[in-house]
Chains A and B, each alone.
Chain A
Amino acid sequence: MITLRTDQQGVVDYTGGYMAVSAVPGSGKTTTLALLAARLIAEALPEDGYVLVVTYQNAAVENFRAKIARFLAEDDLPQTGYEVRTLHSLAYQIVQQNPGLAGTTPGFNVLDERQATHHLENGVNAWLNEHRDTWESLRPDDWSVEGWRRRWNYTSLETAKLIIQTAKNHRASPAGISSRLLPTSGSPHFGDIFLQMALEVYRFYQQQMATLGELDFDDLIRLAVDVLVEHSDYRDRLRRRWPYILEDEAQDSVPLQQELLSLLAGPTGNWVRVGDPNQAIMGTFTAADPRQFRDFINRPDVEHRSLPVSGRSGRPIIRLANRLVDWAVQEHPVPEIRERAFLPLHIVPTPPGDPQPNPPDEESGVDMPIYRHVDIELPTIAQRAIRRAASHPQQTLAILARDNRTGQRIIDCLRDIDEDVAYDDLLRGNVRSRDVAQLLHAVLEVLVSPLAASARVAAYSSLAEEGYGNLGTEEDQARVAILLRSCPAPEQAIFPAAGTDWRDAFAPVPGITAADWQAAHTMVTLLQRAFLARTLPVDELVMTLSQEIFATPGDLATAQKLAGYLRALAENNPAWRLGELNQELGLIARGRTRFLGPEESSQGFTPRPGVITVSTMHSAKGLEWDTVYLVGIDDFWFPGDLDAQFIGTYPELGGSPMNEAKARLEAILDVQKRDSDPDPTREAKLATIAESLRLFYVAITRARHNLVISWSQTVTARGNREASRSLTPALRALRALWKSHD
């Protein structure tokens, strides 16, 4: 039986109504929420009702389900009465149960980021080609045509993404916005031009998806909300089905997602929202507004509770995290940030006798080195991590970077030091989805080029690495690969003629063991099945192979998305055959673009002892390690004031055109903005400063025992320019604290 802390017991004793729980990192909120679910199922649930648990990350779903199942089993209750869903899977369910109401048909395809970007790129390119005069006439003299087009291309794409996301979050269609668009007088601002562009791309994008029966993630939420708003009887039925809603990570909810849950809960319903406003870091990727959950907490009809006690980190680390909050709330040089960045909530270490105590002080420490150049910082940190992994093989450790590019450089440094270093690459969000794409790509390539030995060997290596079947140890694999390569007649191996032996197809290779033959046979059998399935439509082919190769829901979900993507490509390009389609799959496998939506990032990832995780700070959310290295904590990524350099702000385009365009759109849509700066570029800068502080907070609180925070005075920026960096004020404040304890 689990022992609860007092604050946790307070949450589990919930009886009904709206409740908000602000929970600090490591406060045991999943366990608390799962216990609450089990209690409600046992004591309060009406017949035919289900407790609905909503999360924002796939990884959390299984975790919740397992915990609830365990608590129910402990109480000898049947395994029923609850549903755990991500918000997207909830919206999917609402639309899928009644697709006609949402304007689509059963079997609609949900686009992922890559597919969506593909449509957007086409739209932006078409616009740039059609409006050459517009953008060329605005080119400053010191810009080349090529460079200027690139700048427009990139900015247009980012702006279109933001505008479409904003429009969808306000449930506004392209036609609906256009009908309210007023002509601008005088020479238009960049914001006006980019808004016009984005609206045209929006229309194009929706048309592309509509004819293919596709929806993107935002559509899914928008349609679910539309259906619930317009069809109150359906909404009422769902309310009866889910009389209790428990929401995790509520700080990541975007306004439309909050509206969806609010509609499902109803004004007199039962809705428990657990989150940490101080960990709201999704504003960069989604329309999440950190103020939203804070506003909810403050509503008079909401009971507010806190889970401030956490046993995760050592006290020195907790002190740093709390100091960051205090400094931002009381001393930040930009007064608006004091209000916006954090809720003044401290992490409280566990009291004596707690079942999950903080690491002892003597096993916990902080270091904050400064380097002259990033070329010194990254190899040094890499070296420290490798040493740490060697000396503490039972502990977990991670190097967290602010961006993928720096993360990639860290991996390069690790490999320069030790070619065989063990590391997990969580960069670009989802390493696993790339693995899945890569594996499928490798197997499909054999179907594309059945006679190519290289394709056969590559498929074998990918499958062996994946642990498929029994394809041999690493040492065996080299021999089996040679065997598979030495096969001048693959048809004889895969489809042996009557009366012959499949092994006759291979040229003699010295040292081949019986186990090697077995591995080759496993491979050949898989390929035979794959060839037999080859006549299926591409999506069914991919799913048939996937059922054979993959065994986790996450992998199957990824495979399904890939299958859907390939089917859409095939429908869009009737002349394409498996070869062309597989080339596209190869592009995903090489991972230049994130394939899945944000909710899937780091799905199912568990840090491995002695293996260095390399990740961005964003992807590290929800994870923890014994030792964490934070690199590149400087004033570029963590700007201290409004004069700093901001990503997405370009003087040559009049500031931040995407935010200018967004502000214009919000004005058209009559969006009421509270506590926002009237200058859109300034507002965007304030939001960036506040979110970067919360990201820093999230990064700090990933560490259990040891935390190392470093930065460099000089970096090599894009285009191999040397750029100097300054100490960001937040880090200065933490250094002062650290030194005072040192």
Chain B
Amino acid sequence: MPRLFLEGPPGSGKHARLAEHIQQLLQAGTDAYSLLVLVPDRSIRDRLQHTLSAALRGQHRMPDLHTYYSLAQGMITRFWPIIAGPAGFTESSLPPTFLTYETAQHLMSRIVTPLLEQGYFEGLSIRRQRLLSQLLDNLNKAAINGYAHTEIGHRLGAAWAGDETRRQAYLQAQICADRFRRHCLERNLLDISLTIALFHRHLVEDAIFWQYFTGRYRHLVVAHLEESVPVAQDLIRRLIPFTESTLLTYETGGGYRVFMGIDPTGAKQLADLCADQESLPAPPDTNPNIVALDLALGQRLGQVPKGPLPGDPQAALDQHIIQKRYRSEMIEAVAQEIGRLVRDEGVSPDEIAVVAPYADGVLRFVLRESFQRAGVPFRVIRRFESLREDPVVRACLTAAVLAHPAWPTPCPPPDVAEALTLIVAGLDFVRATRLAGALYAPEERHLQPAETLSAADREKIGADALDCYEVLREWLETFRSAENTIPIDLFFQQFYAEILERSGFGAADDAGYAPSVTRLIESARRFREVAPSLGEQDADIGAAYWQMVYSGVVAAQYLLDEAYGTTGSEAVTLVAPVYTYLLAGRRVRYQFWLDVGAIGWWEPPYQPLTNPYVLSRNWPAGDRWTDDFDFHIRNETLYRLVHGLCARCRNALYLCSSDLETGGNLQDSPLLRAALSVANHQRIRDDHAAH
């Protein structure tokens, strides 16, 4: 039985080998149905799908590409009747409802609100949404580590080295988890944690299921094993002996999302189950100076033993430290340097990646503007935090409010003006304000016909915009008069297809709308499906959805604007956070690391109510969380990022920082110190040589 553990650094060809392997299996007559391909997240799934589609050219059926979660969800749906009862669901005869991250927050919010009023979590200062996501994280961490959610409070409390108040808070977090889980079991609601727990603790243990599963999946392929969670590793370990072939790929030095509970060390141990192990060499275009810089930074972060370097770290840094007083100066300098590379050195924009721990509005806006002026194509791939932040989403929600006059939701004129600027292509906010001021009646939430406008206003606003306005108005009018009660997600779908996509409207010439609206539709659909189980009446679901979005629910961490690796965009790309870039499988000629002085490069794992390490199954019972460990872990994680980035850079990288962050606070991080130390060390050495 071929069982291969294939390890290699970035760019060594693992992805291609994996695709080839699948292709060969299919060409040899293996039924795609018997092939299980496991990937760690949706962006890698999309990338692999892209590669496979190109390779298979429709000649073979595409095998199932699953994340562990999507596999669990699919199997639970299929085997629901046989496990619902034994797993403790009260209404086991009714089908399950899967909660999204957003709807889970909505539910957790309902559970926590009365408890907060009783004084829960006193002494902690956390925004509501963060509190909810930490409570849900606890449940998820228990599930992906394969232990009962009832252990959360105890595990957190036992590791806490501070005062008693925090232990109380952990017990309260446990109560929240218990109540949430009970509520889910009573109503057949499956959040991520319950889905995983149900699959791992019940379904996989079920003989009927296991017979089916091992009978079906005869070939196993795992991409980026180092990014897998412990229960996924358990499943792989259990499945391998039953397979006819297994290929596990593992990136050397990878494992970037430890904060999400992945376990690269446990993953590596699966190599023992494979008869063949192969290590791929680094790609031939590896730059020795960048390797030297990688090691020099690692030495300063205490992660690499002191010793000779294979190249000159200074050469990799030469002229490539952009350090400014103000952040705006740093951003401007970055934009100029990138402009120079593209213009004067003919570097293709897609060979330039800009990475930052967090792509805030200031950074996105200023870079976009600078690149626009310089004519450099630019795009942003970032983890989006909340739907409410997205102006396209807000515009669609405003359209929904205008279409549903019975909703008890506010819709002030500035919302309408903002929506008009997004809906009508080329309409600016000043003209939109004039338009809304003249034609929008806030009391009835009604748009008046454009013909009632004065001639002067018509001229100021422009005929094209007014034509579009009329189309929109009539569409809304028709919708209102039909007293249409289509589900909210379908409303958005219809609105996108019939208005936004039309010529002259926002989405017609702007590819950025589609992902926003897709996300909105998906989010609204999931809400609509779950809403009855959350006690919402059918008629109120749209308004309740509006309410939920405006409350600022946090989107799932793995959701991105778009996948970096899949499309061959010809643009300079800003990617945040850093691991998003690392998982995208792109090596580029030039990297710009922004805000290297920001604490975001050195994120603390210890959150007030959760901690991925303490909640890991490997955490020794009774061990306390110490600062030494915290410091070590943070440096280790930071170096993992540094190493991952260096391994994905062929020509040169730029370390960019400002003394002061946007808010005027001094920036300081171990990465900045390490980088300056490498640079200074070199400078002093040069000075000595000169003397």
Interface locus among A457-465, A547-555, A710-718: A547-555
Interface locus among B8-16, B28-36, B61-69, B661-669: B661-669
Task: Contact check, A214 vs B662: say whether CB atoms are below 8 A apart.
Answer: no
> What is the chain B residue whose CB lies nearest that of A494?
B430
Q: Which of A215-259 contact B (CB under 8 A)?
A: 215, 219, 226-227, 230-231, 233-234, 236-237
Contacts A237-B627, A491-B434 known; A104 to B365 CB distance under 8 Å?
Answer: no
- How far is A100 from B170 in the complex, measured between Cα atoms in Å? 13
Interface locus among B37-45, B556-564, B602-610: B602-610
Task: Contact check, A492 vs B551: say whether CB atoms are below 8 A apart.
Answer: no
Interface string of A94-116 (1 = CB under 8 A from B): 00111111011110100000000
A574 → B minimal CB distance (Å): 5
Tell me how many residues of A have a C-beta within 8 Å of chain B: 82
Is A489 an interface position by the 8 A CB rule? yes
Interface locus among B100-108, B116-124, B567-575: B116-124
Task: Contact check, A578 vs B414: say whether CB atoms are below 8 A apart.
Answer: yes
**Which single member of B161, B166, B599, B660 contacts A553 (CB below 8 Å)?**
B660
Is A577 an interface position by the 8 A CB rule? yes
**Which residues does chain B contribute within 8 Å of A104, judged by CB atoms?**
124-126, 608
**Which single member of B361, B434, B668 contacts A540 (CB below 8 Å)?**
B361
Task: Contact check, A100 vs B662: say whether CB atoms are below 8 A apart.
Answer: no
Task: Contact check, A537 vs B366: say whether CB atoms are below 8 A apart.
Answer: no
Task: Contact check, B366 vs A214: say whether CB atoms are below 8 A apart.
Answer: no
Is A645 an interface position by the 8 A CB rule? no
- How far is A219 from B429 in the complex, measured between Cα atoms in Å? 41
**Which single member of B428, B662, B676 contacts A556 (CB below 8 Å)?**
B662
**Which residues does chain A contribute within 8 Å of B166, judged by CB atoms?**
103
**Which residues does chain B contribute within 8 Å of A728, judged by CB atoms?**
none
Task: Contact check, B365 vs A494: say whether CB atoms are below 8 A apart.
Answer: no
**Which single member of B130, B389, B664 contacts A554 (CB below 8 Å)?**
B664
**Which residues does chain B contribute within 8 Å of A575, judged by CB atoms?**
410
Is A89 an interface position by the 8 A CB rule? yes
Task: Contact check, A540 vs B660: say whether CB atoms are below 8 A apart.
Answer: no
**Which residues does chain B contribute within 8 Å of A214, judged by CB atoms?**
125
**Which residues does chain B contribute within 8 Å of A451, judged by CB atoms?**
430, 433-434, 437
Tell me how many residues of B have a C-beta within 8 Å of chain A: 73
**Which residues does chain A contribute within 8 Å of B604, judged by CB atoms?**
97-100, 106
**Which residues does chain A contribute within 8 Å of B162, judged by CB atoms?**
101, 226-227, 230-231
Is B626 an interface position by the 8 A CB rule? yes
Task: Contact check, B126 vs A105: say whether CB atoms are below 8 A apart.
Answer: yes
Task: Contact check, B125 vs A577: say whether CB atoms are below 8 A apart.
Answer: no
Is A85 an interface position by the 8 A CB rule? yes
Interface string of B611-641 (1 = CB under 8 A from A): 1000000000000001110110000000000
Is A557 an interface position by the 8 A CB rule? yes
Task: Contact check, B369 vs A540: say whether CB atoms are below 8 A apart.
Answer: no
Interface string of B455-474 (1 = CB under 8 A from A): 00000111000000000000
A170 → B minimal CB distance (Å): 15
Is A6 an interface position by the 8 A CB rule? no
Task: Contact check, A105 vs B127: say whether CB atoms are below 8 A apart.
Answer: yes
Task: Contact check, A209 vs B125: say whether CB atoms are below 8 A apart.
Answer: yes
Is B275 an interface position by the 8 A CB rule? no
- How far is A489 from B125 in the complex, measured between Cα atoms in Å? 48
Task: Contact check, B599 vs A97: say whether CB atoms are below 8 A apart.
Answer: yes
Interface string of B85-128 (1 = CB under 8 A from A): 00000000000000000000000000000001001011111111
- How far is A541 from B550 in the complex, measured between Cα atoms in Å? 18
B410 → A minimal CB distance (Å): 5
Is A738 an interface position by the 8 A CB rule? no
Is B585 an interface position by the 8 A CB rule? no
Is A127 an interface position by the 8 A CB rule? no
Interface locus among A16-24, A295-303, A526-534, A658-666: A526-534
Is A185 an interface position by the 8 A CB rule? no
Contacts A105-B607, A557-B664, A574-B550 known; A491 to B460 CB distance under 8 Å?
Answer: yes
Is A421 an interface position by the 8 A CB rule? no
Task: Contact check, A557 vs B606: say whether CB atoms are below 8 A apart.
Answer: no
Task: Contact check, A103 vs B628: say whether CB atoms are below 8 A apart.
Answer: no
- How far is A152 from B163 in the complex, measured between Cα atoms in Å? 37
- How far is A387 from B676 in the complex, measured between Cα atoms in Å? 54
**Which residues does chain B contribute within 8 Å of A554, judged by CB atoms?**
664
Is A322 an interface position by the 8 A CB rule? no
Task: Contact check, B628 vs A233: say whether CB atoms are below 8 A apart.
Answer: yes
Is A210 an interface position by the 8 A CB rule? yes
**Which single member of B361, B433, B599, B630 contacts A96 (CB below 8 Å)?**
B599
- How far is A544 from B663 in the complex, measured between Cα atoms in Å? 11
Contacts A450-B433, A547-B366 known; A175 to B122 CB distance under 8 Å?
Answer: yes
Is B418 an interface position by the 8 A CB rule? yes
- How far is A534 from B420 in the complex, measured between Cα atoms in Å? 13
Interface string of B209-228 (1 = CB under 8 A from A): 00000000000000000000
> What is the chain B residue whose CB lies nearest that of A546?
B662
Interface string of B543-562 (1 = CB under 8 A from A): 00000001110000000000
Task: Contact check, B460 vs A173: say whether CB atoms are below 8 A apart.
Answer: no
Is B431 an interface position by the 8 A CB rule? yes
**Which single member of B119, B121, B130, B430 contacts A490 (CB below 8 Å)?**
B430
**Which residues does chain B contribute within 8 Å of A89, judged by CB atoms?**
665-666
**Which single member of A98, A209, A577 contacts B606 (CB below 8 Å)?**
A98
- How far is A548 from B122 in the complex, measured between Cα atoms in Å? 40
> What is the chain A residue whose CB lies nearest that of B607?
A100
> What is the chain B residue whose CB lies nearest that of A209?
B125
> What is the chain B residue whose CB lies nearest that of A548?
B328
Contacts A108-B125, A206-B122, A209-B125 known; A492 to B460 CB distance under 8 Å?
Answer: yes
Task: Contact check, A544 vs B125: say whether CB atoms are below 8 A apart.
Answer: no
Is A330 an interface position by the 8 A CB rule? no
Contacts A99-B604, A233-B626, A535-B391 known; A544 to B365 CB distance under 8 Å?
Answer: yes
Is A394 an interface position by the 8 A CB rule? no
**Which residues does chain B contribute within 8 Å of A99, judged by CB atoms?**
604, 607-608
**Which single member of A234, A237, A491, A561 contacts B430 (CB below 8 Å)?**
A491
Task: Contact check, A571 vs B125: say whether CB atoms are below 8 A apart.
Answer: no
Task: Contact check, A537 vs B361: say whether CB atoms are below 8 A apart.
Answer: yes
Is A211 an interface position by the 8 A CB rule? yes
**Which residues does chain B contribute within 8 Å of A578, judged by CB atoms?**
414
Is B483 an interface position by the 8 A CB rule? no
Q: Which of B402-441 contact A (CB under 8 A)?
A: 410, 412, 414-415, 418, 422, 428-431, 433-434, 437
> What is the chain B residue whose CB lies nearest that of A568?
B127
Q: Which of B319-356 contact A (CB under 8 A)?
A: 326-328
- How far is A495 from B430 in the complex, measured between Cα atoms in Å? 8
**Which residues does chain B contribute within 8 Å of A210, judged by CB atoms?**
121-126
Contacts A213-B127, A544-B362, A577-B414 known; A529 to B369 CB distance under 8 Å?
Answer: yes
**Which residues does chain A contribute within 8 Å of B207, judged by CB atoms?**
none
**Which single member of B121, B415, B433, B608 contacts A100 (CB below 8 Å)?**
B608
- How far is A85 from B684 in the complex, measured between Cα atoms in Å? 27
B104 → A minimal CB distance (Å): 19
Is A1 an interface position by the 8 A CB rule? no
Task: Contact check, A571 vs B428: say whether CB atoms are below 8 A apart.
Answer: no
Excluding A173-B122, A451-B430, A540-B365, 16 further A-B contacts by CB distance (< 8 Å) are A89-B666, A98-B627, A99-B608, A100-B605, A105-B126, A106-B599, A236-B627, A237-B628, A237-B631, A533-B361, A536-B361, A540-B361, A543-B361, A543-B362, A547-B662, A553-B664
CB-based closest 9 A-B pairs = A560-B663, A540-B361, A557-B664, A100-B606, A233-B627, A556-B664, A213-B127, A535-B391, A547-B328
19 contacts between A and B (CB under 8 A): A99-B607, A99-B608, A103-B166, A105-B607, A211-B116, A211-B127, A215-B125, A219-B125, A231-B161, A534-B418, A540-B360, A543-B361, A544-B365, A544-B366, A548-B328, A553-B664, A556-B326, A571-B127, A578-B414
User: Which residues on B are within 8 Å of A, measured CB to CB?
Assistant: 116, 119, 121-128, 130, 161-163, 165-166, 169, 326-328, 360-362, 365-366, 369, 389, 391, 394, 410, 412, 414-415, 418, 422, 428-431, 433-434, 437, 460-462, 550-552, 599-600, 603-608, 611, 626-628, 630-631, 660, 662-666, 668, 676, 680, 683-684
